[in-house]
Structures are given as structure tokens and as C-alpha cells.
Amino acid sequence: MADKGMSDKIKGAVNKVKGETKDQVGNAKNDPNMQAEGKKDKTKGDIQDGIGNFKNNANK
């Protein structure tokens, strides 16, 4: 059952990295839209990570 939580944690980590990359590229290019998109992806990653933690703790 820990598999489900781990899957969410991996997806969360991928979204965090994707978001951070967009945020940094947006900053370098002075593109506030790309920065906002990056922040949104990072938030999505944080939420997915939290869901993964919840699932792991619920299965104990």
C-alpha cells in the first residue's frame, strides 16, 4: 500500500523541479507569466507530496 503514497511523492518531486525550472527561467528572461506558472507547479508539487505523506501515514 505504501506504493500509492510513493507514487504521489515522486509526482510531487517532479512538479517541484519543473516549477523551480520555470520560475528560474522566467526570472532570467524577465517573464512574470512563466514565473507564475513555475510557482503554480511548485505548489502543485507540494500538495502532491503532502498527499503522498498522508497516504503513507494512513496505511501504517
2-59 tens-digit pLDDT: 477 899 999 999 999 999 999 999 999 999 999 999 999 999 999 999 999 999 888 7
What confidence score (pLDDT) does residue 41 get? 98
What confidence score (pLDDT) does residue 30 get? 97
Q: Which residues contact 27 (CB under 8 A, 6 or more apart)?
A: 35
What confidence score (pLDDT) does residue 5 get? 84
Q: Phi and psi at residue 8, in whole multiples of 5°?
A: -65, -40
What confidence score (pLDDT) does residue 1 get? 46
Rounded CA-CA distance 6/1 in Å is 9
